[in-house]
Amino acid sequence: MKVPICNECLESDEGLCEECGDKLDDGVFSEVAVNVSRFLYSLSGQIPTLKDVEIKKIEKATDAIIVVTSKGDGPRVVGKNGEVVKQLAEKFERSIRVVEDAGEPEEVIKNLLEPVEVASINTVYKPEGIEKKVVVSKEDERRVPISKNEFKSIVKDLTGKSFSLSFE
């Protein structure tokens, strides 16, 4: 299993090594990433498919925890019949979103917002530059577990491109 923290810290319930501690302090990953990584590692003994997954990033949003995996690892992190996600949701008392880093920004966005459907992705020309706007139906607004600011930050982090979220 490849996660944001080193194997030594992953296998330990103690504090973090100096290098991982520095990364935590610098915001490379969060305390939630440490806890979720360790919990997934503890599950890998019972669920062997977790041993080969790569978790690229774990972020906490307002109503959810977002787990970003390498392409193809999403289903393994979700687990058979959603068993891994259910255990994560129960342990951390938040909904869990598993997003595959598909490389294409539009795919990452669709995975992040699933099951909410993206109505369109538009190009907006502003004085400060070009921005992409993701439009979702106003009726689906309460089904999106992250705020507009969190969406913008997470998508920028994952894709390197700026996208805003709009409900129309």
Q: Which two tokens stand for residue 141?
A: 């607004």
Beta-sheet pairing, 118-126 with 95-101: unpaired
Residue 34 pLDDT: 94
Sketch the domain layout of the chain as residue ranges: 1-101, 102-168
Q: What angle do CA 100, 104, 105 make, to 5 degrees?
A: 85
Dihedral angle at the C-alpha atoms of 93, 145, 13, 100, nearest 10 degrees? Answer: 130
Look at the domain 102-168 and name its fold: GMP Synthetase; Chain A, domain 3 (3.30.300)
Query: What average pLDDT is seen over the chain?
Result: 90
The per-residue b/e assignment along 115-134, b for 16 or more CB within 10 angstroms, e otherwise, is ebebeeeeeeeeeeeeebeb
Residue 101 pLDDT: 83
Mean pLDDT of 80-103: 90
- CA distance readout (Å), 90 to 37, 40, 82, 95, 120: 15, 13, 12, 9, 33
Residue 102 has pLDDT above 80, yes or no: no
User: Given this structure, which CATH class describes domain 1-101?
Assistant: alpha beta
Distance CA 8, CA 38 (A): 11
Dihedral angle at the C-alpha atoms of 33, 38, 43, 44, nearest 10 degrees? Answer: 100
Q: What is the pLDDT of residues 57-89, one digit of tens each?
A: 898 887 889 999 998 899 999 998 999 999 999
Residue 154 pLDDT: 86
Residue 25 pLDDT: 92
- Note whether 1-101 and 102-168 share their fold: yes
Distance CA 67, CA 112 (A): 10
Residue 60 pLDDT: 87
Distance CA 111, CA 74 (A): 10
Residue 108 pLDDT: 86
What letter represents residue 49's amino acid?
T
